[in-house]
Amino acid sequence: MDTSSMESVKLRTGSSPGQRPFWQGERAIQWAVAIVVCFLVLAPVVPLLVQAVADRALYLDDIQPTFGNFARLMEDTEFLRSVLNSMIFAAIGTTFSCVVGAVAAILIGRTDMPMKGLVSGLMIWPIFISHLVITTGWSIVYGPAGYVTMTFKLAFGDVPWNLYSIVGMSVVAGVCQVPITYLYCLTALRSSDPTLEDAARAAGMRPLTVFWRITVPLLRPALIMSSILNLVMLLEAVSIPLVFGRPADIEMFMSYIYTRAISVSSPDYGLVAAAACFLVLLVVVLVSSQRVLLRKPERFVTIAGKATRPRTMRLGNWRFVALAALLLYLAILVVLPLAGLVTYAFSSFLTPLIPIREVLTLDNFRLVLSTPVYVRSMTNSIIIGVVGGAFAVAIVALLAVVVHRSTFPFRRFLDIISLLPRAVPGMIAGIGIFYVTVIVQPLGWLRETIFLLMIAFTMRYIPLGYGAMATAIIKIDKQLDKSGRAIGASWWTTIRRIVLPLMVPAMLSSYAILFIHFFKDYATGVFLVAPGSEVLGTTLLQMFLSGETGPASALATIQLAITALFILGMRRIAGVSLYG
Amino acid sequence: MADLSLKNVSRHFGGFAALKDLSLDVREGEFVSLLGPSGCGKSTTLGLIAGLDQPTSGRIMVGGRVVADGDNGTFVPAEDRELGLVLQSYALWPHMTVRGNISLPLEIRKVPKKRRGELVEEYLSLVEMSDYVDRYPHELSGGQQQRIALARTLVYEPVVLLLDEPLSNVDAKLRERARTWLRRLQRHFAVTTIFVTHDQSEALTMSDRVAVMSEGRLVQFGTPEEVYARPGDPFVADFVGSSNLIKGVLEIAGGDARLVVGDRTIRVQKPQAIDAGGPVTMAVRPEKIRVLAPGDDRDNVLDIEIKDSDFLGARSLYHADLGGQAIRFESRANDLRGPVRVGFSADDCFVFRG
How far off is chain B from A295, nearest CA to CA, in Å?
13
> In this structure, are A229 and A133 located in the same domain?
yes
Nearest CA-CA distance, residue A184 and chain B, Å: 18
Q: Are A148 and A350 in contact (CB under 8 A)?
A: no
B7: helix, coil or strand?
Answer: strand
Q: Does the pLDDT at position A181 exceed 90?
A: yes
Beta-carbon separation of B91 and A199 below 8 A: yes
Does B93 reach chain A within 8 Å, measured CB to CB? yes
Within 167-196 of A, beta carbons closer than 8 Å to B belong to 193, 195-196
Contact (CB<8Å) A199/B169: no
pLDDT at A386: 95
Chain A residue with Cα closest to B136: A299
**Facing residue for A205 by CB, picked from B84, B91, B108:** B108
* Arithmetic mean of pLDDT, B239-257: 88
What are B9-35's pLDDT values in tens digits? 999 988 899 999 999 999 999 999 999
Per-residue pLDDT, averaged over B231-255, amounts to 89
pLDDT band at A310 (very low <50, low <70, confident <90, very high): low
> Looking at residues A460-466, what average pLDDT do you find?
89
Is A302 a residue whose pLDDT tops 60?
no
Do A202 and B169 count as a contact with CB atoms less than 8 A apart? Answer: no
Percent of chain B exceeding pLDDT 90 equals 60
Q: What is the pLDDT of residue A18?
A: 45
From A308's Cα to the closest Cα of chain B, the distance in A is 11
- Distance, in Å, from the CA atom of B318 to the CA atom of B341, rounded to the nearest integer, reads 13
Question: B49 at the A interface (CB within 8 A)?
Answer: no
Residue A422 sits in a domain whose CATH number is 1.10.3720.10
Same-domain status, A378 and A330: no
Inform me whether the C-beta atom of residue A198 falls under 8 Å from chain B C-beta atoms.
yes
**Does B181 contact chain A (CB < 8 Å)?**
no
Angle, in degrees to the nearest 10, between helices A220-235 and A269-293 = 180
Residues 192..221 of B with a Cβ closer than 8 Å to A: which? none
In this predicted model, which residue has the larger pLDDT, B99 or A490?
A: B99
B94: chain A residues, CB-CB within 8 Å: 196, 218, 298-302
Q: Do A152 and A292 fall within a single domain?
A: yes
The enclosing H or E element of B284 equals strand B279-284
Distance separating alpha carbons of residues A210 and A214, to the nearest angstrom = 5
Which pLDDT does position A300 carry in this prediction? 62
Q: What is the mean pLDDT of residues A399-405?
A: 92
Region A472-491: what's the mean pLDDT? 81
d(CA A475, CA A480): 11
Q: For A255-259, A326-330, A573-577, B148-152, which range has the lowest pLDDT when averaged over its residues?
A: A573-577
A contacts of B135 (beta carbons < 8 Å):
none
Question: Quick one: pLDDT at residue A311?
Answer: 67
For chain B, percent of residues with pLDDT exceeding 70: 100
Asked if residue A207 has pLDDT above 50, the reply is yes
What pLDDT, on the 0 to 100 scale, is given for residue A423? 80
Does residue A462 lie within any of the structural domains? yes
pLDDT of res. A298: 62
- Residue B68: what pLDDT? 93
Using N-to-C axis directions, what is the helix angle for A166-191 and A131-142, rounded to 10°? 130
Position B99 confidence tier, pLDDT thresholds 50, 70, 90: very high
* The amino acid at B83: L
CA angle B327, B331, B337 (to 5 degrees): 70
Burial of A244 from C-beta contacts in 10 A (0-12 / 13-18 / 19+): buried
Q: Any chain B CB within 8 A of the CB of A209?
A: yes
| Of the listed ranges A183-187, A260-264, B174-178, the one predicted with least confidence | A260-264
CB pair distance less than 8 Å for A306 and B89: yes
pLDDT of residue A299: 66
A198 contacts in chain B (CB < 8 Å): 50, 52, 78, 85, 87, 91
- pLDDT above 50 for B223: yes
Domain membership flag for residue A53: no
B89·A302 Cβ contact <8 A:
yes
The percent helix, strand, coil of chain A (3-state, each to 5) is 75, 0, 25
Do A482 and A335 share a structural domain? no
CA dist., res. B97 & res. B107, Å (int): 15
Query: Does A330 lie in the same domain as A413?
Result: no
In a domain, A567, yes or no: yes
**A71: in domain:** no
Strands B4-13 and B16-26, bridge-based pairing? antiparallel
Are A448 and A350 members of one domain?
Answer: no
- Taking an 8 Å cut-off on Cβ atoms, the answer to whether B52 and A201 are in contact is yes
Count of CB atoms situated within 10 Å of the CB of B246: 22
- Give the model's pLDDT for residue A297: 60
Has residue A183 got a pLDDT over 60? yes
Q: What is the pTM of this model?
A: 0.79
Domain match, A347 and A368 both: no
Three-class secondary structure of residue A211 per DSSP:
helix
A311 CA to chain B: closest CA distance, Å?
A: 9
Q: Which of A358, A374, A404 is the last residue of a domain?
A: A358
Instruction: Give yes or no for A13 touching B (CB within 8 A).
Output: no
Do A284 and A366 fall into the same domain? no
A468 has a pLDDT exceeding 50? yes
Q: Residue A576: give the domain boundaries.
A: 34-44+362-580
Residue A12 pLDDT more than 80?
A: no
| Residue A169 counted as domain residue | yes
Interface test with A, best of B43, B49, B88, B95 (most A CBs within 10 A): B95
Beta-carbon pairs below 8 A across chains A and B? 95
Find the distance separating the first CA and the last CA of chain A, reported in whole Å.
48
Is the pLDDT assigned to residue A3 strictly greater than 70?
no
Query: B247: distance to nearest CA of chain A, Å?
Result: 37
Q: Are A556 and A340 within 8 A, CB to CB?
A: no
The reply to whether B84 touches chain A by the CB within 8 Å rule is: yes
Do A347 and A370 sit in the same domain of this protein? no
Secondary structure (DSSP) of B73-104: TEE--GGGS-EEEE-TT----TTS-HHHHHHH
Using DSSP's 3-state secondary structure scheme, residue A461 falls into: helix
Segment B266-273 mean pLDDT? 86
The structural domain count of chain A equals 2
Yes or no, beta carbons of A199 and B136 under 8 Å apart: no
Q: What is the dihedral of CA A392, A394, A398, A400, to 10 degrees?
A: 60
User: Which pLDDT score is estimated for A327?
Assistant: 95
Q: Does A304 touch chain B (CB under 8 A)?
A: yes
Q: Is A163:A244 a contact under the CB 8 Å cutoff?
A: yes
Q: Which helix (H) or strand (E) holds B175?
A: helix B172-189
DSSP secondary structure string for all residues of B47-76: HHHHTSS--SEEEEEETTEEEEETTTTEE-
Cβ-defined contact of A298 to B84 (cutoff 8 Å) = no
The pLDDT score that the predictor gives to residue A356 is 79
Three-class SS state of A497 = helix
Residues B120-146: pLDDT tens digits?
999 999 888 999 999 998 889 888 999
Please give the ipTM for the structure prediction: 0.77
Asked, for residue A248, whether it belongs to a domain, the answer is yes
User: Where on the phi/psi map is residue B330: left (φ > 0), alpha (ψ -120 to 50), or beta?
Assistant: beta
Confirm if A162 and A203 have CB atoms less than 8 A apart.
Answer: no
Same-domain status, A341 and A487: no
Is B62 in CB contact (< 8 Å) with chain A? no
Q: Is the pLDDT of residue A579 over 80?
A: no
Residue A51 lies in a domain: no
Nearest to residue B200, comparing CAs of B212, B215, B216, B218? B212
Q: Using the beta-carbon criterion (under 8 Å), do B105 and A203 form an inter-chain contact?
A: yes
Is residue A17 predicted with pLDDT exceeding 50?
no
Q: Cβ–Cβ of A196/B93 closer than 8 Å?
A: yes
Confidence of residue A554 (pLDDT cuts 50, 70, 90): very high
Position A331 pLDDT exceeds 70 = yes
Looking at the structure, do residues A277 and A383 belong to the same domain, yes or no? no
Inside any domain, residue A336? yes
Residue A72 touches partner B, C-beta closer than 8 Å: no
Cβ contact, residue pair A195, B89, below 8 Å? yes
First to last CA, chain B: 43
Please give the residue that has the higher pLDDT: either B23 or A416: B23
- A326 & A404 share domain: no
Indicate whether A482 pLDDT > 60. yes
Helix (H) or strand (E) holding A155: helix A147-156
Whether the CA torsion B346, B347, B349, B354 is positive or negative: it is positive
